[in-house]
Amino acid sequence: MAKALRVLIAGAGIGGLTAALALLQKGIDVEVFERAPELKEAGAGLHCSPNGVRVLQTLGLNDALERVAVKAVDRDIRLWDTGQSWRLPNHGASSEERYGAPYLFLHRGDLHAMLVSAIRAQRPEILHVNARCVDFAQDGSGVTLDVEGHGSVRGDVLIGADGVKSIVRGKLFGDDNPKFTGRLAWRGLVPIERLPEPMRAPITTNWIGPNGSVTTYPVRKGELMNFVTLVNRDDWQAESWTDQGTIDECLHDMRGWHDDVHEIIRNIDVPYKWGLFLRDPLTSWTSGRISLLGDACHPMLPYLGQGANMAIEDGMVLARSLDAFDDVEVALTHYERARGERASTIVLKSREQGDRVNRSELGDSASAARYIEAQWSGGNIAQRYDWIFDYDATSVEI
Ligand code: FAD
């Protein structure tokens, strides 16, 4: 029987939509408020590792994933200047046998669109756009959310899924004191036909160098090549998913890098830049009937490709907790307890991975070769990733 519970979600990003879909499938009433004027494609590529894919499959999105995702089974580690390369099996190569779910590369817009359409197929009226959440309060019987253009909305629970600059987090817990890393990310997509034939291969390439790293992988069934570079540069400190830069500026940041890197940059449609900031993990992210998920509570550096996966896992565990416990405050406590340690560990491990790929040894090809062979051996890779990919948010204890 459906539960008499009304959940309000601030933010229709990857985490908010996953939570909404999981709640609907448990028969729990939910309303999602998104500040953007429409739910349209935004962003570039992202990694959906087995721990995230498992959740999406449970939510019935397997066919939708198959239509757009790419499984890149090989990966090349390449040296920034000479282009010397080491061919390794990618995570995707044995993911299904090893973890029971594939490792996929996706356009964020495609993932977002499949979540929106799965929700619209059930309850189109629960997704509200032009709906910026500005304030909230809670009392003994529920929460009140103030939404620009929609007035005050009443529910039993409020979930802040409003991203890295969450107003829900800010109002509950104050300033999160982000610290600039001195690094900038460039992101962009290249229509595959613009690249020379040898560069169209459906593989992941990780370029590593002494002052940055570049990752490329195909998305949207190989129609687009995703490009992201994380580079040391301290004069750009805007943390934004939508700030555009220029091709020339990106080329300048990557001066000295191999011609293949420049070839990709020259063909990017729109280069976006994003300052990378560190935040310490929160010790708690729940207060009474209000909690957080995804980047709102555990934003992380992108080096392990886990930002979207953690938000997806949160959405599933949140829905299971609200379904399992009658008292919403108890449910949110169980949700946070189930998620806190894992999310905090991933935040810290993502920082470590950033340090692993930004090394002075990589400036010299002999020491770089030794370093790469030591760091990217099979045993090291398994140790770094097995515990991430094995996790099953659909059955983990809550
Ligand atoms: P997000 O996916 O960031 O979603 C947060 C949502 O909350 C957004 O839709 C935002 O508009 C909304 N919101 C914020 N404040 C309010 C408010 N006050 N009221 C209502 N709604 C609000 N990650 C990548 O790895 N690669 C990319 O290319 C990429 N591009 C992105 C482009 C955009 C436009 C955005 C918003 C995010 C992008 N991300 C990208 C981030 C990635 O989606 C997240 O890191 C990850 O998926 C965690 O998801 P989340 O739901 O916690 O946050």
* CA pseudo-torsion sign 205, 208, 214, 215: positive
User: By three-state DSSP, how is residue 158 classified?
Assistant: strand
How remote is the CA of residue 163 from the centroid of ligand 1, in Å?
5
- Say how far residue 156 (Cα) sits from the centre of its chain: 28
- The whole-chain average pLDDT of the chain stands at 92
Structure tokens at 83: 């282009």
Following DSSP, what letter does each residue of 304-373 receive, concatenated?
GS-HHHHHHHHHHHHHHHHHH-SSHHHHHHHHHHHHHHHHHHHHHHHHHHHHHHB-GGGGSHHHHHHHHH
CA of 293 to the centre of ligand 1 (A): 11
For ligand 1, the distance from its centroid to the CA atom of residue 362, given in whole angstroms, is 33
Give the pLDDT score at 2. Answer: 64
> Candidates 39, 41, 46: which one to mutate for ligand 1, based on the most atoms within 8 Å of Cβ?
46
DSSP letter at 13 equals S
More confident residue, 189 or 356: 189
108 lines ligand 1 (CB under 6 A): yes
Distance 312 CA to ligand 1 centre (A): 12
- On whether the CB atoms of residues 168 and 158 are closer than 8 A, the answer is yes
Q: What is the DSSP letter of 195?
A: S
Q: Is the pLDDT of residue 209 over 90?
A: no
Q: What is the pLDDT of residue 1?
A: 56
Alpha helices (runs of H) in 50-199, residue ranges in sequence order: 50-58, 62-68, 95-99, 108-122, 167-173
257-296 CB burial, b ≥16 within 10 A, e <16 = bbebbeebbebbeebbbbbbbbbebbeebbbbbbbbbbbb
CA atoms of 385 and 203, how far apart (whole Å): 19
pLDDT band at 88; cut points 50, 70, 90:
confident
| 58, amino acid identity | T
Least confident of 83-97, 103-117, 254-268, 278-292: 83-97
| Candidate from 162, 242, 301 with most ligand 1 atoms within 8 A of CB, to mutate | 162
Indicate if ligand 1 lies below 6 Å from the C-beta of 209.
no
Task: Please work out whether the CB of residue 33 comes within 6 Å of at least one atom of ligand 1.
Answer: yes
- DSSP bridge partners of 79: 208
pLDDT digits (tens, 9 = 90+) for 144-174: 999 999 999 999 999 999 999 999 999 999 9
Q: Which of 241, 205, 200, 236 is nearest to 221 (CA)?
A: 200
pLDDT tens figures, 376-388 = 776 677 778 899 9
Query: Does residue 365 or residue 184 have the better pLDDT?
Result: 184
CA–CA distance, 4 with 231 (Å, rounded to integer): 50
Q: Are residues 257 and 216 in contact, defined by beta-carbon separation less than 8 angstroms?
A: no
Task: Provide mean pLDDT across the span 82-99.
Answer: 85
For ligand 1, atom 14, name the residue with the nearest CA: 162
Which residue's CA lies nearest to atom 40 of ligand 1? 43
Query: If you count them, how many residues does the chain have?
Result: 398
Atom 42 in ligand 1: residue holding the nearest Cα: 308
Q: Does 236 score more than 80 pLDDT?
A: no
Q: What angle do CA 313, 315, 321 make, to 5 degrees?
A: 100
Alpha carbon distance 150, 79 (integer Å): 53
10-33: average pLDDT = 98
Residue 368 has pLDDT above 90, yes or no: no
Q: Is the pLDDT of residue 13 over 90?
A: yes
Mean pLDDT of 72-76: 84
Give the three-class secondary structure for 381: helix
pLDDT for 202 equals 87
Percentage with pLDDT > 90 across the chain? 72
The predicted model scores a pTM of 0.95
Mean pLDDT of 236-254: 89
From the CA of 306, how far away is ligand 1's center (Å)? Answer: 14
Whether ligand 1 lies within 6 angstroms of the CB of 381 is answered as no
Q: Comparing 64-73, 86-95, 357-366, which segment has the lowest mean pLDDT? A: 357-366
Judged against a pLDDT cut of 60, whether residue 233 lies above it is answered with yes
* pLDDT for the residue numbered 378: 66
CA 162 – CA 343 distance, rounded (Å):
17
**Closest ligand 1 atom to the C-alpha of 310?**
48
Can you tell me the mean pLDDT for 61-73?
Answer: 93
> According to the model, what pLDDT value does residue 239 have?
82
Q: Is the pLDDT of residue 78 over 80?
A: yes
Is residue 256 left, alpha or beta, with left meaning phi > 0 and alpha meaning psi from -120 to 50?
left
What integer pLDDT is reported at residue 208 of this predicted model?
Answer: 87
Residue 358 has pLDDT above 90, yes or no: no
Which are the catalytic amino acids? 217
Q: Is the pLDDT of residue 112 over 70?
A: yes
